[in-house]
Amino acid sequence: MNCNVCKNKKIQLLNYFGKIPRSFDFKKKKTIKKYKFLLSQCNRCSIIQLEKNGGDQSFVPKLKWINNNEPDQHLSELISYLKKKLKEKKKILLISNFDKKIFESLKNYKNIKLLDHKKYLKILKKNPNQFLIQNSIIKKNYNKKIYNIGKFDIIVSCRVLEHTYNLNLFIKNLEFFLKPNGTLIFEIPDSQKSLKQGDVAMLWEEHPIYFTKNNFIRAFQILGYKILSYKKYLYPQEDALVFRIKKHDIGKMTKIKNLDTEIRLGELFVKKCKNKKKKLISFLKRETNKRKKIGIFGAGHRSIVYFHVNKLSPYISYIFDDNQNKKNLFFPGTNIRVKPSQTITKNRLDICFLSLSINKEKKVMRNLSKFNKNIKFYSISPDSKYAF
Ligand SMILES: [Zn+2]
């Protein structure tokens, strides 16, 4: 496999994490397709990447209620920056429905445009996920109208870049809509903290790319860009990064100081994941020998990856989630049906792993303790106070 980003042929396999089902595969039947999770790292641009493991349509959920919710509370600063630029008569293009918050705040300006997916990208789905958006752009699966939208001073994209299966081509195709000397603005999740922590649940089949501040800078320099500015926004678990970049004059390339540290980050992540797995399994063995009943609250992509990578089926008997859509469907790749939390009382749970936003943990613990005040809680999020 060539590097997703810089097309380098020397890309190193970091680890094979086993076969994992897709996290939107909530079904009425038990048997579903699983995909290989191969994590690699490019030794040129240092980007950590998950290998594409399915056909073209394999990342498009059939269930209507599946939505990728992305955090957007930190976008206000970017919005005020763009507002200033709009007042200076700059033309701005937003590329997807993941930029909707920005668009809603600025749509009164005539010089801002949101690339409507139905009108321009030949996507008929109501709320397309990032896979579909990047796929249309990579393949130039456009309606003819798109060639009349003109060129822009600034192109903005939130939460799509880490979903691209060919970043190199994605950027080249976006450049078509950029004026010479124009700037690109990307908002992406920052994987650095989770990589350092060995948080295996951060891996997700819909994220082929895991950015850190340094590997982003390195990669885009190789692609011929210079970084105009970047900003990091802190969150309880996954931080966010906003980069403003521009094509650089030939010959200019700043050296990245910590390239070795970036390269070692991949190995460090795998090592930590393996150690954590050992610790977890010996704990679960001990507790199941004592006939303790163990469950997970939260059936999302984090708990699905956590469950399968750590091979938890011998130990976990219950999966709880209060999303009505998931009720009684099989937790992907297992024979455990997802149950609402009220059923905890009947099951007399002893240990409950939490897989949800850190800021909701306390509330959920309080609610679940009403059923059984002796439940022991452990969070699968390394930044939680209750982290395992
Ligand atoms: Zn590379």
Q: What is the pLDDT of residues 142-181, one digit of tens each?
A: 999 999 999 999 999 999 999 999 999 999 999 999 999 9
- Residue 9 has a CB neighbour count (10 Å cut-off) of 9
**Spatial separation of the C-alpha atoms in residues 335 and 200, rounded to whole Å:** 22
Tell me if 188 is assigned to some domain: yes
Judge if 224 and 151 occupy the same domain. yes
Q: 52 and 151, same structural domain?
A: yes
> Residue 326 above 80 pLDDT?
yes
Domain containing 33: what range? Answer: 11-265
Pair 235, 354 in one domain:
no
Residue 230 shares a structural domain with residue 91: yes
220 and 308, same domain (yes or no):
no
CA of 10 to the centre of ligand 1 (A): 8
- For residue 125, the CA-to-ligand 1 centroid distance in Å is 32
- Domain containing residue 104: CATH number: 3.40.50.150
**What total number of domains does the chain contain?**
2
Residues 111 and 35 in one domain: yes
Residue 46 lies in a domain: yes
Q: Mention every residue, 6+ apart, whose C-beta is less than 8 A from residue 284.
A: 294, 312, 314, 315, 316
Comparing C-alpha atoms, which of 211, 171, 204 is closest to residue 68? 204
Question: What stretches of 224-334 adopt beta strand conformation (E)?
Answer: 225-233, 239-247, 294-297, 318-320
Per-residue tokens: 223? 């692609």
Residues 189 and 226 in one domain: yes
pLDDT tens digit sequence for 331-355: 998 989 999 988 877 767 899 999 9
Are 254 and 299 within one domain?
no
C-alpha distances (whole Å) from 63 to each of 8, 46, 125, 325, 331 are 37, 36, 12, 10, 14
**Could you tell me the two tokens for 219?**
């990669």
Q: Is the pLDDT of residue 101 over 70?
A: yes
pTM of the model: 0.91
Separation of 42 CA from ligand 1 center, angstroms?
5
Determine the straight-line distance between the first and last CA of the chain, rounded to whole angstroms. 35
As a whole number, mean pLDDT of residues 74-86 equals: 95
> Helix crossing, 213-222 with 259-289: angle to 10°?
140
Residue 3 burial by CB count (10 A; 0-12/13-18/19+): exposed, middle or buried? buried
| Separation of alpha carbons 227 and 290, rounded Å | 56
Q: Say if 371 falls within a structural domain.
A: yes
Q: Map residue 55 onto helix, strand or coil.
A: coil
pLDDT score at 59: 72
Report yes or no: 18 and 308 within 8 Å, Cβ to Cβ: yes
Distance in Å, CA 6 to ligand 1 centroid? 4
Token pair for residue 231? Answer: 């900003």
Q: Quote the CA–CA distance of 300 and 158 in Å, as a whole number.
A: 21
Residues 195 and 202 sit within 8 Å (Cβ to Cβ): yes
229 CA from centroid of ligand 1 (Å): 22
Both 164 and 234 in one domain: the answer is yes
In tens, the pLDDT along 227-257 reads: 999 999 998 888 999 999 999 866 566 666 6
Bridge partners of 198, per DSSP, are: none
43 Cα to the center of ligand 1, angstroms = 7
